[in-house]
Structure 1
Amino acid sequence: MADDVQPGDTIASTDEANAAALDGDLALRVQPPAPSATQYYFADEQCGWQFQKCGHSRSRSVSVEFVRERVESAIARNDRPGGASIRAVERDVVGRYAEGGA
């Protein structure tokens, strides 16, 4: 159910993505096909939607359309070999993950 999205859950719909990022204060972790870096999307009250790539210390503002396209594409890849390509994660650890930490 979209209202019950927890960290680590696979995101299976745009409703779940919205519930995680907007209502649950979580980030969306998108794992694109190799060799592309892991991507994080989250909503910030001050700056709107933000995008941060693994290995980068800063996020940048992006449009809701940009996020929607990435989320829908990742959801479509969830059932492919290699596991889920989009999951909810705690927002406060995005910076640590993005900089290559645990």
Structure 2
Amino acid sequence: MKTSRRSFLISSVGVVSALALSREALAADLPMLPESDPTAQSLGYKADATKVDKAKYPKYAAGEHCATCMLYQGKAGAASGPCGAFPGKQVSAKGWCSAYSKKA
């Protein structure tokens, strides 16, 4: 069967769209990162950035939170989302850890 470039591109768009939707669905199924997780503890993760121990983490600045970090992969306005620092887990958009790096 001969396939045209046009039909290939049209079917490719459908496949890419389906993959994007399934990625969002998978992200929603990820468990929340508990503060007791060893990696979370090593990076000083707090689900509520206002509870960060400023003496222990002097790098923390008021107003910093996961939703404004370049590692955060959640949608804008979402309560939580995946994070590059914690693969396979979701973090609170209002959280913070020492891997924080402000989005450009």
TM-score category, normalised to shorter length? under 0.3
TM-score (norm 2): 0.24
By percentage of residues, which structure has more strand?
A: 1
Q: For CA contacts below 8 A with separation 6 or more, give which structure has more relative contact order.
A: 1
TM-score (norm 1): 0.24
